[in-house]
Amino acid sequence: MKTLAAELAFFLRGQARQNLKLLILYCTFLLILVLTYSALFRFLMWQLEGREYSFLAGLYWTVVAMTTLGYGDITFTTEPGYLFSTIVTISGVIFMLILLPFGMISLFLAPWIEQRLRYRPTVALPEETRDHVLIFGFDAVTRALTRKLQNRQIPFIVVCSDHAQAVRLEEEGFRVLLGIPTDAQFLKGARVQAARHIIANLSDPENTNLCLTVRSLCETPIATLVGQLEHGELLRLAGANQAIALKRILGRYLATRATTRGALAHVLDSFGRLQIAEIPVQATPFAGQTLAEARIRQRTGLAVIGLWERGRFTTPDAATRLSPKALMVLAGTREQLEALEMVTGEEESDDLVLILGHGRIGCAAASFLDRRPVPFILIDKQPSPDCLDHVAVIGDATSPHVLRESGIDQAKGLIVTTNDDSINIFLTLASRHLNPSIRIVARANREENVDQLYAAGADFVISNASVGASILNNVLEGKESIFLTEGINVFRRPLPPNLVGQTIAESRIRPLTGCSIVALEREDAEEPLVVPPPETLLEKGMGLILIGSPEQEENFSRNFRG
Ligand code: ADP
Ligand code: ZN
């Protein structure tokens, strides 16, 4: 069935699609011809021979004449009638019996056979191939990763075990290798030993098997995406260098953005002592104030390094007004975050988050909230087969009745995390309608749907593919980096030697690269210096923690090479 669908799909792509249009046009022409002949037949029969026939009889006579069947049950008996019959029969031979089959063969059958014969899958790479990234398992995440690799001009090869998928990807312009990923001989042909990195994105057992096979051959680094959390350890044992629990990370991102609990609840990641955290402006007394009026720096020592609002990330300045709908991204130490918590005051009991969808991502979000602890209610169509920790309300979330019964009116936050984007869009719209002030965080399974989710009323959208691809990309670059959003990274670099002895203003890091310094790490001091003022002296042995887009990051590498 799958192969039939794949073969049929051939007719809906590229040149075959054009030809299909031509065929439809031709058939329309034939239809008009037949209808015209039928009408003429009735007219001539009545005029020449005084006989009256129905429309259906006319159609029948025309088709029988054009296909040269000629039953002879309805015939003309006059000379002009014979002439008309001859014309109809000859045009039938030309248009139906010669041109139609000829067109079918030359426009469809021949290209299809040619394509089948021409496609010779690549099963091994040339000897000199090296420094390539091998991608096992192609989906939305690895597709997004390939775009990043293309931008950075890193050669990559997609490995497929499915012939039809290989054909499709090759038609899209990817370099594809066809073979069994756990066959050592095939892996040697894929030049794993010379590869820069291996991305294992198959099922957990297949990834394990792949890691073991690769490790029996070479030490090339392997990054794998883990399906089930408990399998991470096994994958590492099998030889994976990184086992990335993407679903747990996504669950955590969704959860931190859905609650208005204090700052410590939102630590995204840390570089040594420096923590990067998020806090909704709404949870603080600063809503409506400008950054200068809020005096967050003076009160806590924390720096606001970014503002997130409806999918947009901006770097604020003193005059930026803090909208209650925004999230502040903060940099500072744990103690400074605690100081902020003293200012904002922990909101106790009145937070409630609804989670729609108890798949692995929904479950990870629930576990995260559980540890805070933030009260939540899970809703799913069916009981989860994998989870013993949570009890979900069983019901279809698309029914407003279920949402109301679960308390959407009182809820402060909502996480929409089913595996179907149309349902996620629908649920976002319906929930926004039922509770206009609720904070909605939605998951986009496909990047194309991010905008629709925002349009439906989501406050934050997390795209599986973007997050996954950015994490993998950071792993490939071997750099420590925190993913904030598509296009914004926080990253660490040693102080370039030629900047030693200059002040930050003299270093011209921001004008030259666009990156901003979030913090300075000093060898002798425990505390990183958060958002240092421009007159700060850059000293030998310091570490820089910067924020910027991938291009700005590249500018930094280009301008300040070791
Ligand atoms: P993941 O593991 O990536 O989170 P899953 O497919 O396991 O993805 O999870 C999606 C969950 O969403 C499933 O448990 C499914 O039952 C649930 N779901 C899908 N549609 C609805 C709906 N209309 N109402 C409630 N739950 C739904
Ligand atoms: Zn669970």
Quick: pLDDT tens for 4-15. Answer: 666 666 666 666
Confidence at 283, pLDDT banded by 50, 70, 90: confident
Highest mean pLDDT among 164-168, 228-232, 239-243, 426-430: 426-430
E-assigned strands of 390-438?
Answer: 393-394, 413-416
Residue 26 pLDDT exceeds 70 = yes
Q: Is 398 in the pocket of ligand 1 (CB under 6 A)?
A: yes
Q: Which atom of ligand 1 is nearest to the CA of 464?
A: 3
Residue closest via CA to ligand 1's atom 9 equals 359
What's the CA-to-centroid distance between 387 and ligand 2, angstroms? 5
* Three state DSSP letters for 488-531: EEEEEEECCHHHCCCEHHHHCHHHHHCCEEEEEECCCCCCCEEC
Mean predicted confidence (pLDDT) in 58-74: 92
Q: Which atom of ligand 1 is nearest to the CA of 384?
A: 14
Give the mutation target among 419, 441, 443 for probing the ligand 1 site: most ligand atoms within 8 A of CB.
Answer: 419
Give the mutation target among 226, 378, 379, 381 for probing the ligand 1 site: most ligand atoms within 8 A of CB.
Answer: 381
What's the CA-to-centroid distance between 153 and ligand 1, angstroms? 37
Neighbours of 273 (CB within 10 A): 16
Q: Which atom of ligand 1 is nearest to the CA of 358?
A: 14
Mean predicted confidence (pLDDT) in 450-476: 89
Q: What is the per-residue pLDDT for 427?
A: 97
CA distance 273 to 334: 8
What's the CA-to-centroid distance between 311 and ligand 1, angstroms? 24
Instruction: Kindly report, residue by residue over 426-446, the tens digit of the pLDDT.
Output: 999 999 999 998 989 999 998
Q: What is the per-residue pLDDT for 78?
A: 92
**SS3 of 321, please?**
strand
- The ligand whose atoms approach the alpha carbon of 382 most closely is 1
Q: Is 341 in the pocket of ligand 1 (CB under 6 A)?
A: no
**SS3 of 176, please?**
strand
Q: Which atom of ligand 1 is nearest to the CA of 363?
A: 4
Highest mean pLDDT among 15-19, 326-330, 536-540: 536-540
Mean predicted confidence (pLDDT) in 499-524: 88
What's the CA-to-centroid distance between 361 and ligand 2, angstroms? 9
The more confidently predicted of residues 488 and 241 is 241
**SS3 of 76, please?**
coil
Residue closest via CA to ligand 1's atom 8 equals 359
Q: What is the per-residue pLDDT for 418?
A: 96
- The ligand whose atoms approach the alpha carbon of 423 most closely is 1
Residue 317 pLDDT exceeds 90 = no
Q: Is 378 in the pocket of ligand 1 (CB under 6 A)?
A: no
Closest to 135 (Cα-Cα) out of 189, 190, 193: 190
CA distance 89 to 92: 5
Instruction: Kindly report, residue by residue over 84-125, the tens digit of the pLDDT.
Output: 999 999 999 999 999 999 888 888 888 778 777 777 788 899
Contacts of 129 (CB under 8 A, 6+ apart): 191, 194
Q: Is 359 in the pocket of ligand 1 (CB under 6 A)?
A: yes
Q: What is the pTM of this model?
A: 0.69
Task: Give residue 38's identity as a one-letter amino acid code.
Answer: S
Q: What is the per-residue pLDDT for 538?
A: 92
Task: Give residue 333's identity as a one-letter amino acid code.
Answer: T
Q: Is 358 in the pocket of ligand 1 (CB under 6 A)?
A: yes
- The ligand whose atoms approach the alpha carbon of 361 most closely is 1
Residue 386 pLDDT exceeds 80 = yes
Q: Is 248 in the pocket of ligand 1 (CB under 6 A)?
A: no
Q: What is the per-residue pLDDT for 157?
A: 96
Confidence at 347, pLDDT banded by 50, 70, 90: low
Q: What is the per-residue pLDDT for 175?
A: 94
Length, in residues, of the chain: 562
255 and 231 in contact (C-beta within 8 Å)?
no
Q: What is the per-residue pLDDT for 264?
A: 52
What's the CA-to-centroid distance between 417 and ligand 1, angstroms? 7
Q: Is 468 in the pocket of ligand 1 (CB under 6 A)?
A: no
Instruction: Kindly report, residue by residue over 394-425, the tens digit of the pLDDT.
Output: 999 999 899 999 999 999 899 999 999 999 99
What's the CA-to-centroid distance between 418 and ligand 1, angstroms? 4
182-186, 275-279, 463-467: range with lowest mean pLDDT: 275-279
Confidence at 328, pLDDT banded by 50, 70, 90: confident
What's the CA-to-centroid distance between 207 and ligand 2, angstroms? 24
Residue 482 pLDDT exceeds 80 = no
Q: Is 91 in the pocket of ligand 1 (CB under 6 A)?
A: no
Mean predicted confidence (pLDDT) in 70-74: 88
Residue closest via CA to ligand 1's atom 19 equals 418
Residue 458 pLDDT exceeds 60 = yes
- The ligand whose atoms approach the alpha carbon of 376 most closely is 2
Q: Is 131 in the pocket of ligand 1 (CB under 6 A)?
A: no
69-73, 262-266, 336-340, 415-419: range with lowest mean pLDDT: 262-266
Q: What is the per-residue pLDDT for 9?
A: 66
Q: Is 439 in the pocket of ligand 1 (CB under 6 A)?
A: no
Q: What is the per-residue pLDDT for 271?
A: 75
Q: What is the per-residue pLDDT for 11?
A: 64
Q: What is the per-residue pLDDT for 348?
A: 53
Confidence at 19, pLDDT banded by 50, 70, 90: confident
Q: Is 423 in the pocket of ligand 1 (CB under 6 A)?
A: yes
Contacts of 442 (CB under 8 A, 6+ apart): 415, 416, 417, 424, 427, 428, 453, 456, 458, 460, 461, 462
Residue 3 pLDDT exceeds 60 = no
What's the CA-to-centroid distance between 366 and ligand 2, angstroms? 6
What's the CA-to-centroid distance between 359 and ligand 2, angstroms? 8
CA distance 366 to 415: 10
Q: What is the per-residue pLDDT for 354?
A: 96
Give me the long-range contacts of 395-404 (CB less than 8 A, separation at least 24): 397/356, 397/357, 397/423, 397/427, 398/423, 398/426, 398/427, 398/430, 400/430, 400/434, 403/354, 403/379, 403/430, 403/431, 403/434, 404/434
Q: How many CA atoms lie within 13 A of 211 on its CB side?
A: 29
Q: Which atom of ligand 1 is nearest to the CA of 379?
A: 25
Contacts of 75 (CB under 8 A, 6+ apart): 81, 85
Q: What is the per-residue pLDDT for 531?
A: 79
Which pairing describes strands 516-521 and 376-380: parallel, antiparallel, or unpaired? unpaired
Q: Is 426 in the pocket of ligand 1 (CB under 6 A)?
A: no
Q: Is 418 in the pocket of ligand 1 (CB under 6 A)?
A: yes
Q: Is 502 in the pocket of ligand 1 (CB under 6 A)?
A: no
- The ligand whose atoms approach the alpha carbon of 228 most closely is 1
* Two tokens, residue 78: 């006059």
Residue 47 pLDDT exceeds 80 = yes
Percent above pLDDT 90 for the chain? 51
The more confidently predicted of residues 14 and 351 is 351
Q: What is the mean pLDDT of the chain?
A: 87
Q: What is the per-residue pLDDT for 455?
A: 94
Q: Is 89 in the pocket of ligand 1 (CB under 6 A)?
A: no
